[in-house]
Amino acid sequence: MKDSFPNIKFIFVGDGPEKEKLVYILKSKKLNNVEFKNAIPKIEIIKLMSNMDALFFRLINSPVFKYGISSNKLFDYLASGKPIIFSSNSTNNLVEEAGAGITVPPDNPEELAKAIFYVYHIT
């Protein structure tokens, strides 16, 4: 994607368990269109989201989500008014119900790339 869309920049915010591994991959592949930010207060996240063209929300492929989800982060994303790429198998798909973006199956990089390309062209 870096070669196809050099204007796309990915910003990851937080200190999740995979962050160190991902930063290592970023450096080893010399990717300059990916940035990692440390966790920041919610008010700053809202400001940061206002500068984004689109937002990505991913849930792992887990049977627990067949009962639905209730994530504060998803509600913040919906309130932002930005297009959302939602990677989930949840039965209650608030992104789809609100017409707020695109849903892709979890753990499917090809479909995720297609969604990113689509959102890139509509924003």
Q: Under DSSP, is residue 85 helix (H, G, I), strand (E, B) or coil?
A: strand
Are 4 and 112 in contact by the 8 Å Cβ rule? The answer is no
**Could you tell me the domains of the chain?**
1-39 (no CATH), 40-122 (3.40.50.2000)
Q: What is the DSSP string of 40-84?
A: --HHHHHHHHHT-S-EEEE----GGGGG----HHHHHHHHHT--E
pLDDT digits (tens, 9 = 90+) for 1-59: 566 667 889 999 999 899 999 999 989 988 888 999 999 998 899 999 999 999 999 88
Q: In the prediction, which pLDDT does 71 show?
A: 81
- The structure's pTM equals 0.87
Are 53 and 28 in contact by the 8 Å Cβ rule? The answer is no
- pLDDT cut 90: percent of the chain above it: 58
Tracing tokens 């939602």 back to the chain, one arrives at 86
Q: In the prediction, which pLDDT does 122 show?
A: 87
Q: In the prediction, which pLDDT does 64 show?
A: 64
